[in-house]
Amino acid sequence: MKFILRLVLSLSFAAAVAGSALAQRPGGGGAGGGFGMGGGFGGGSAYRLVATNKVLQDELKVTDEQKKKVEEAMKPITEKQRELFSGGGFGQNATDEQRKEMREKMEKISEETKKAVEGVLDDKQKTRLSEINVQVLGFGAFSNKDVQEKLKLTDAQKEKVKTVAETYQKDSAELRKDMPRVGGRGQGGNNQPSEEDAKKLADYRKKADALKSEAEDKVKAELTADQKTTWKTLVGEKFDTTKLTQFGGGQGGQRPGGNRQRPNN
């Protein structure tokens, strides 16, 4: 059921990254704004993928020597992340204090990941990776500390971002209650989803994408002309982030944001 699994991973990942990035306090948050679950994604969004995802490595033109250096640099960080999630404190039953503590630890891992990866890449690679990371985060990037500083968001704008984020999180939580539960083989015993399951997933994804688009448009409406120009620069040339979810992209190929990103301009 690779097709269905890919869609479910994509949809779940979208909610994970958006929720994590937007949960940050205005002006706060880690450099990467990342999210992690049990050794999968985490600490740095696209930054973490440099160690394992061939699609991203090819886009950045990462050399074999750089791959080895990134892998070595990520080992202690990955271990920290594994220990963090094995300790619990994350989930539906977590207290507000536990969530706060988890978020702070995740932000620290995010910062360490970004620093470790950038320590291996050259300037051109770092710039492109930053652009891809912004595209992966989507409108959640507006809650990222680095992005806020580069856009020079005012306190009023940061508050608007927070308000939009809270609304988005609430609406997304409601939508996830209706997320299709699909499985099994399709008609004829093949591994393709049934027509009904495929339609349910497509409808859900359409609604999820609409929520993201609406939230992003609300935030962009608050930007000045100069800020919009800066935003385009931060996004850079469009990268098909859906490629980061496809099987065969290397270990850790799931993507935070599994949505089909619109051009962020």
Is residue 228 assigned to a domain? yes
What CA–CA distance (Å, rounded) separates 55 from 40? Answer: 17
Is residue 247 assigned to a domain? no
Nearest to 62 by CA among 111, 126, 110: 126
Model pLDDT for residues 132-151, shown as the tens digit of each residue: 999 998 888 998 888 999 99
Is residue 123 assigned to a domain? yes
Is residue 191 assigned to a domain? yes
Is residue 101 assigned to a domain? yes
Model pLDDT for residues 75-94, shown as the tens digit of each residue: 999 999 888 888 665 566 77
Q: Is the C-alpha dihedral spanning 86, 24, 130, 31 positive or negative? A: negative
- Per-position DSSP letters for 192-211, written without gaps between them: SPPHHHHHHHHHHHHHHHHH
Task: Decide which of 20 and 194 is more confident.
Answer: 194
Task: Decide which of 20 and 225 is more confident.
Answer: 225
Is residue 257 assigned to a domain? no
What's the chain's Rg over C-alpha atoms? Answer: 18
Is residue 250 assigned to a domain? no
pLDDT above 90 for 66:
yes
State the residue range of the domain holding 192: 2-240
Helix (H) / strand (E) element for 169: namely: helix 155-176
Is residue 231 assigned to a domain? yes
Name every residue whose Cβ is closer than 8 Å to that of residue 129 and which is 6 or more positions away in sequence.
46, 47, 50, 56, 60, 117, 118, 121
* Domain total of the chain: 1
Among left, alpha and beta (phi > 0; psi -120 to 50; other), residue 188 is left
What CA–CA distance (Å, rounded) separates 250 from 53? Answer: 4
Q: Evaluate whether 34 touches 41 at the Cβ level (below 8 Å).
A: yes
Question: Across all residues in the chain, what is the average pLDDT?
Answer: 78
Model pLDDT for residues 34-51, shown as the tens digit of each residue: 333 222 333 347 999 999
Mean pLDDT of 218-230: 97
The answer to whether the predicted template modeling score (pTM) of the entire model surpasses 0.75 is: no
pLDDT at residue number 223: 97
Name every residue whose Cβ is closer than 8 Å to that of residue 164 and which is 6 or more positions away in sequence.
139, 215, 218, 219
